[in-house]
Amino acid sequence: MNSPANKRKVKIVCTLGPASNTREHLIALIEEGLDVARLNFSHGTHDYHRGLIQSVREASLFTKKPIMLMQDLQGPKIRAGVLPKEGVHLKEGDVVLLYPEGATPKTSATGKILIPISAEIAQAIAVSVQKGARILFDDGKIATRATAVNPPEIVVEVEVGGKLTSNKGMNLPGTPLSIPCLTDKDLEDLHFGLSQGVDAVALSFVRNAHDIDILRNQIRKVSNEMPMIIPKIEREEAVECQNSIIEVSDGLLIARGDMAVEVGAERVPIIQKRLIYGCNQLGVPVITATQMLESMISCPTPTRAEASDVANAVFDGTDAVMLSGETASGQYPKVAVQTMARIVVEAERMKASYSRHQEALSMPGSVVDAIESSAAQIAEKVGAAAIACITHSGTAARTLAKFRPEVPIVAIVDQESALRKLALVWGVHGEVIQEIVGTDDLFAMVENVLKTQNWARSEDLVVVTAGVPTLKRGTTNMVKVHRIARG
């Protein structure tokens, strides 16, 4: 039978980088539990990412495990410009002039420390910032407050000092920004990703549901295939309108790093729980990310706090947990994935013993919701070994996952692209067959898949959902309890 690790329901997203950029590296990570490969377009050339994509596909073919490719767009990252090699030392009370990199300051520099900021966003920031607004640098380590605004320049006073070096990030908590959600670089990267057939696109620094519409329209201009759109929740504006964002998204990524700087670290755990709860209710896959096993970048074992963080995300109901530097540039990428998988499996085992999933919202009038909800309940009552979900697009399997059945969900699809997108969805495993067969052969086909892949044995009960007699897209209308034949 499948091992407990292979029956893991919460999926693992791994960020790729120098520590995981070869076919051999990726085979090792896949064998330990990688389900989704994250390509971080804040770093690397298109040629570099082309090589990564090829390596992922070769490793996926070798391991016979479909791997989702998730392109993570950089977004309008607000950064300081190039500073002296030794950096600039700022102390409390210093007055700093922020001006567009490459330009000559218009504001008097007398008594001020000059700090260039990214020229492409300087004007938009200065227009949005009000006197008294907080401006943070380097993940909030350095804090300043605006004392004068003269677009595209801002004068700030340092409240918490430190050493500032080139290209460190900036955050403006409490300041709504008018910057477009897609930069010119993002559009170039998006076109490249679509040409390479990525399965999902993650959008950084989302503010509202309109940003998702903008990305979706840009994709439609250049591609007939629509990847999953996964907004990253890291700005306060997004937190405030989370429900409308979830409703128009195919997935969600809780980016806790920038979020902590924007809203305060003390609010992140509660926001995480609310986001996961909202996604669970609507059946939208959700990824919990940032510093989950951060110490394993340089240490082969996690801290107890990190292990608890991963387990608590599982208890909250997350669909996936994400590794960043641990697998991109860390010293122990394989061990980090192995550790993550072990923590998830143990947390799932304990969760089943004392916790029941919060009731998901059924869509009124939806046949597929009614069928899949019933399938989950029936499987529990009859002690089924698995639920086989015959689906063309994957919608039925995603709907079934919303109801969090205790038994494995085995999606049977006729396109590998559909199965790759299901790699992010809680509890879903799958098999690609050449053709969805007619009704007469349907259950023989299901039996063959489940027995061949060790999801069920002879005489086990399984639950099957499908659309009969047509077996066409969007026709799920049947649930049946089926006993696997002897032999």
Neighbours of 304 (CB within 10 A): 8
Find the helix packing angle between 209-222 and 184-195, rounded to 10°.
Answer: 50
Angle at 389 between CA 464 and CA 415, to 5 degrees: 140
Q: Residue type for 185, please?
A: K
Active-site residue identified among 23, 57, 79, 134: 79
Between CA 5 and CA 94 the distance in angstroms is 54
Q: Residue type for 37, please?
A: A
38 is catalytic: yes
- CA dist 174 to 170, 238, 263, 303, Å? 13, 12, 8, 33
Nearest partner of 9 among 321, 257, 258, 250, judged by Cα: 321
Between CA 206 and CA 365 the distance in angstroms is 32
Q: Is 298 exposed, middle or buried (0-12, 13-18, 19+ CB in 10 A)?
A: exposed
Active-site residue identified among 15, 144, 288, 290: 290
Q: Is 75 left (phi over 0), alpha (psi -120 to 50) or beta?
A: left
Active-site residue identified among 8, 168, 207, 232: 232
Cα–chain-centroid distance for residue 45?
A: 22
Nearest partner of 83 among 113, 127, 53, 45, judged by Cα: 113
Tokens for 12, please give them. Answer: 């693992």
232 is catalytic: yes
Biggest alpha carbon–alpha carbon distance for the chain: 88
Tokens for 186, please give them. Answer: 């993002």
Between CA 431 and CA 404 the distance in angstroms is 20
Active-site residue identified among 9, 11, 38, 421: 38
Q: Are 323 and 287 in contact (CB under 8 A)?
A: no
Residues serving a catalytic function are 38, 79, 232, 290
